Amino acid sequence: MMRKIMFLLPLLVACGPDANAPESVAGRFVRAQLSGDTAGMIALATRPDQAAAAQAPNTADKTLYPEASDQPLHDLYGARVKIAGASAQTEGDRASVAVTARVPDVDLSGVLMEALFGGGSDEAAMTRKVKAQFDKAPLKDEAHTLELVREDGQWRVDTDWAEKAQAKRAEDQRQAREAALAALQRDYRTGREEDLVRARLALKKLVATYPNDAGWKEEAAAVDALMPVLAKFTADVGRAGLYQGDYQADVVVTNGSAQPIKSFTLKLTFLNGDQPVGESEYETYSPGWFSSRVLDPGGSATVKPSGTPPEGWTGQALRAQVSATELDLD
């Protein structure tokens, strides 16, 4: 008799349930999910999903990563979970599995509230109350549908973690591109008003980034056309210094070009000796209501910039240059 038992044992093991069957894998995944078993879920997922489990936005998924403080609740809940059955529809290396889990028919929030207010501050007492609620609760059927993929002969759960991580990366890249474009556009707009050299640099980047955008090419050509005009300007500083805490200066601006000028911007650099102090100031001069221009070809104008100087400026020196201009084309 002993020989017969030993002979039959390998046969019984071989005929047991297949742990790699899609129904078995899906059932274990559902049990791990309902028990708050993060490691168990990840171990049964596809390789791309395993890699993505630790990436945003999955790290904020409370189903995948329950709060540590909630784990005792998951343990008590999971202890009563039973996998009642599973059926799979398989096609090649893919399978769709319907899993029926029997779970405690309880209101989790109600159980927690009752434990918190009925069990006092004793954690052990609260745990006993929650366990009692779970133990006496009837079980109800809960349906789960999972998609599985066969990888190297092993069935694994195809979650949406990899897709979510990929979508998050794509969204981050899109936002980064939009932020970079907004920064370039901002540099161009402020440069167009204050400093054509800065505007030109921003335009070069915009044209390189969007080579098929005719609008940026036209803007670049317009700025390029202004650069020779800008080079013909001079700005000579006469009186300059500190007066009751503010800077004041007299600057003679001369238009050495053959173009009538509608407006120009003066860039003021504050110096202690030869060292610049703080940020440069920009002041734009436009015509009054009675005129369409501020400077005729070959004309000069004296402007008197004033304002709050950068901290640390001693009033020693001030450098001025025309950094932007707009032609009067009317």
Higher pLDDT, 315 or 123: 315
pLDDT at 13 over 70: no
Percent of the chain with pLDDT over 90: 73
pLDDT averaged over the chain? 88
Which ranges of 45-99 would DSSP assign to H, the alpha helix?
A: 47-52, 71-79
Residue 120 has a pLDDT of 53
Judge whether residue 117 has pLDDT over 70. no
| 293 phi, psi to nearest 5 deg | -145, 160
Where do we find the tokens 């980034």?
A: 209
- Confidence at residue 189, expressed as pLDDT on a 0 to 100 scale: 94
% of residues, the chain, pLDDT over 70: 88
CA 102 to chain centre: 40
Given a cut of 80, is residue 26 above it in pLDDT? Answer: yes
Given a cut of 70, whether residue 18 has pLDDT beyond it is yes
Number of residues assigned to the chain: 330
Q: What is the pLDDT of residue 115?
A: 57
**Predicted local distance difference test score (pLDDT) of residue 6:** 38
Q: Whose CA is closest to 230, among 295, 302, 279? A: 295
Token reading at 138: 């009837």
Q: Which residue has the higher pLDDT, 4 or 51?
A: 51
- Does the pLDDT value for residue 15 go beyond 50? no
CB atoms within 10 A of CB 202: 23
- Give the DSSP per-residue string, 190-230: HHHHH-HHHHHHHHHHHHHH-TT-HHHHHHHHHHHHHHHHH
**79: which residues sit within 8 A by CB, 6+ positions away?**
35, 134
Helix then strand then coil, in percent of the chain rounded to 5, is: 45, 30, 25
Q: How confident is the model at residue 72 (pLDDT cuts 50, 70, 90)?
A: confident
DSSP state of 168: H
pTM value > 0.75: no
For 275-328, how does the pLDDT look when each residue is reduced to its tens digit (9 = 90+)?
999 999 999 998 876 566 789 999 999 999 999 999 999 988 999 999 999 987
Average pLDDT (164-168) is 97
Quick one: pLDDT at residue 71? 83
